[in-house]
Structure 1
Amino acid sequence: MDPDGAHPRVHELDAVRGFALCGILVVEIWQLTDMRATIGPGTVDPVWHLLSVLFVGRFFPIFSFLFGLSFSLFLDRTVEGTDRPRLILARRLVALGVLGLIHHVFQPGDALLPYAIVGLVVLLPAAGLPRWVILLAGLIATIGVPCTLGGGLGLVPGLFLLGLAADRFGLADNLRDYGWGLAVAFLLAVPAAIAAGVWEYRTPYVELWTGSVAPVAGLLGALAYLTGFLLFLRTESGAVFAEVLEPMGRMALTNYVSATGLILVAEPWLGLSDSNRYSALLGLAGAIIAVQALWSYHWLRWFRYGPLEWVWRCATWWQLVPNVRTRRKLTVPYGGGR
């Protein structure tokens, strides 16, 4: 049984997930290759400082929010197909944790294991609460953590709850009806994000690791990126980007894990470790995005799920799930059903 496969996907959210993956990749390369952030004792590299304001903490919140939203979507669809949805969801999160343990060997900053733990401890119990309670708890956690404890993985519980609440309030099913709401949120978020970004850039780099400047600026930047990109997808140019990013978003787990392997293979050739070669970093990020975009597009012409997505789904349902597309589906270009 695979009830989730019978429901239409929300293509905009897949595209946003692909967009978030692209932004996370820049930070992932910097962390995994152990590049330098300074050009001398106590002097931060201005290029990296600018890149950190544009990327660090901006895309991880989007990805975390979407995880909570996707969790809710999967729960709703699972309820329709089984009388034990919470058991299946728990198995799904445990399987993600096992994959995270394996991935952690190659990428110590892996997010999959923390996602699985927070999902089991926070998301699963919260799924049965009233939607207003979920929203309030998500807001308190998301706003309170950066103001008291800093950012990083501490933001995950609140963002998970906000994603869960967003689906409970019908965001995924009625995304096309939220045009004015997105526009207002974007217009409010952009000046706040710019002001916070300038504040972050002018703050001594060492102080960013302990204060609340960076996480607050990151959340505002994430909101501006999220709402702006959703509005951009409604334009003709945005539709072109969607065709590229949707397959990447549908294969987010495969692309997130495979990026680690690609970075580790490329690093010795590029010599990024303990360097300030940020042009090479951006070049590698662009190359990986291009490879994964092509790979995802062609893979999904023949298969319903990415390789790791399929393994994860089989572990979730504890049985082999059909993956090969039928000949009839192969005749329709990807994205043509939007």
Structure 2
Amino acid sequence: MYETLLHQRFFPIFSFLFGVSFGLFLDVVGERARHPRVVMLARLGFLVPFGALHRLLQPDEVLLSYAVVGVVVLLPASFLSGRVVLALGSLATVAAVLVAGGGSLLIPGLFLLGYAVQRFGVEVLLGLSLKRLVVVFAGGLLCAVVLNIWQVGSGSQAGSRLAAVAGVVTGATYVIAVLLLLRWRARGVLGVLAPVGRMALTGYVGATLMIVAMDYFAEVSDFGTAVTLGIGVFLVELAFSSLWLRHARYGPLEWVWRCLTWWDVVPIRGRPEG
């Protein structure tokens, strides 16, 4: 279950969304700064120390990789057309899956795909007809089930081509599932989770701190305990994020990151800005 539902299934989503957020932030900065790419360079540059410090506790963390790839790949891509970015992202993702077996080499391609979607307009995805979404979801779900059963049956582990393909397809299916839920009454339920998304950096680092602290008291050696621990950490972060954002514009680490990016003390109380 861990291999088919969780392991390397959300990493592609986070990488894709980072590319989307890069484009959104660059657009907002373009309205406020004379040289938006310089501000974006500072934003990505100051993510490096966050990642480096976090890596001391979690060697497999991704912030450092995201920062470096963002500077090397996304910033140059901001000078290209959306079609070129989409083509490069597609080629890089396919190459990472088929040649290298996925892993961290997926980051550049997924970054570019996310950025391309933002360039064309996120509303393109959100505006897809319900019928089309259902068809895409059904096809993705079928492919994901077949690929995951194949992966488990063959004993393929992370780093193999099959595992990489299964991970990307499963992650894409999860995204389509969320788009479907946004069309139904579950939209209100998903809205409850929004504070965690707005404090993603704080939540990512905070989860590591909580899990490392818990390791001192108990050893997690089975799947059931790990899932219970993960759910517990998420609920704590959901409660904390909801309470914090009632009084603040940004999460604690998000605020520090923003202050460093603009090299100024940004107001933290009140309504959030772009």
TM value normalised by structure 2: 0.95
Structure 2 CA distance for aligned equivalents of residues 114 and 246 of structure 1: 25
Relative contact order: is structure 1 or structure 2 higher (C-alpha 8 Å, sep ≥ 6)? 1
Q: Which residue of 2 aligns with 1:60?
A: 11
Structure 1 CA distance for aligned equivalents of residues 188 and 163 of structure 2: 32
1:81, CA displacement in angstroms?
0.8
Contact 1:179 1:231 in 2 (8 A): no
Q: Which residue of 2 aligns with 1:256?
A: 204
1:178 is the counterpart of 2:128? yes
Of 218, 221, 229, which residue of structure 1 is paired with 2:170? 221
Of 67, 73, 81, which residue of structure 2 is paired with 1:122? 73
Of 207, 213, 229, which residue of structure 2 is paired with 1:284? 229
Per-residue CA distance 1:111-136 (angstroms, 9 max, x = gap): 00000000000000001101110000
1:145 is the counterpart of 2:93? no
Of 143, 146, 163, which residue of structure 2 is paired with 1:195? 146
SS in 1 for 2:264: coil
SS in 2 for 1:321: coil
Structure 1 CA distance for aligned equivalents of residues 164 and 98 of structure 2: 8
Q: Which residue of 2 aligns with 1:35?
A: none
Contact 2:96 2:102 in 1 (8 A): yes
Q: Which residue of 1 aligns with 2:240?
A: 295
SS in 2 for 1:302: coil
1:210, CA displacement in angstroms?
4.5
Structure 2 CA distance for aligned equivalents of residues 269 and 225 of structure 1: 34
Unpaired runs of 5+ residues, structure 2, are none
Q: Which residue of 2 aligns with 1:80?
A: 31
Q: Which residue of 2 aligns with 1:24?
A: none
Percentage of pairs with the same residue: 42
Structure 2 CA distance for aligned equivalents of residues 75 and 89 of structure 1: 7
Structure 1 CA distance for aligned equivalents of residues 50 and 228 of structure 2: 28
1:278, CA displacement in angstroms?
1.5
Structure 2 CA distance for aligned equivalents of residues 100 and 299 of structure 1: 23
1:233, CA displacement in angstroms?
2.4
Q: Which residue of 2 aligns with 1:312?
A: 257
1:51 is the counterpart of 2:32? no
SS in 1 for 2:138: helix
CA 1:211–1:84 in structure 2 vs 1: closer, same or farther (change >3 Å)? same
Q: Which residue of 2 aligns with 1:165?
A: 116
Letter in 2 for 1:243: G
Contact 2:126 2:179 in 1 (8 A): no
1:197, CA displacement in angstroms?
0.7
Contact 1:145 1:154 in 2 (8 A): yes
Structure 2 CA distance for aligned equivalents of residues 299 and 58 of structure 1: 29
Q: Which residue of 1 aligns with 2:218?
A: 270
1:164, CA displacement in angstroms?
0.5
RMSD: 1.5
Unpaired runs of 5+ residues, structure 1, are 1-49, 330-338
Q: Which residue of 2 aligns with 1:15?
A: none
Structure 1 CA distance for aligned equivalents of residues 126 and 92 of structure 2: 28
SS in 1 for 2:249: coil
1:98, CA displacement in angstroms?
1.1
1:161, CA displacement in angstroms?
0.1
Structure 1 CA distance for aligned equivalents of residues 179 and 103 of structure 2: 24
Contact 2:51 2:62 in 1 (8 A): yes
Structure 2 CA distance for aligned equivalents of residues 292 and 174 of structure 1: 31
1:108 is the counterpart of 2:59? yes
1:209, CA displacement in angstroms?
4.1
TM value normalised by structure 1: 0.77
Q: Which residue of 2 aligns with 1:23?
A: none
1:91 is the counterpart of 2:45? no
Structure 1 CA distance for aligned equivalents of residues 35 and 134 of structure 2: 40
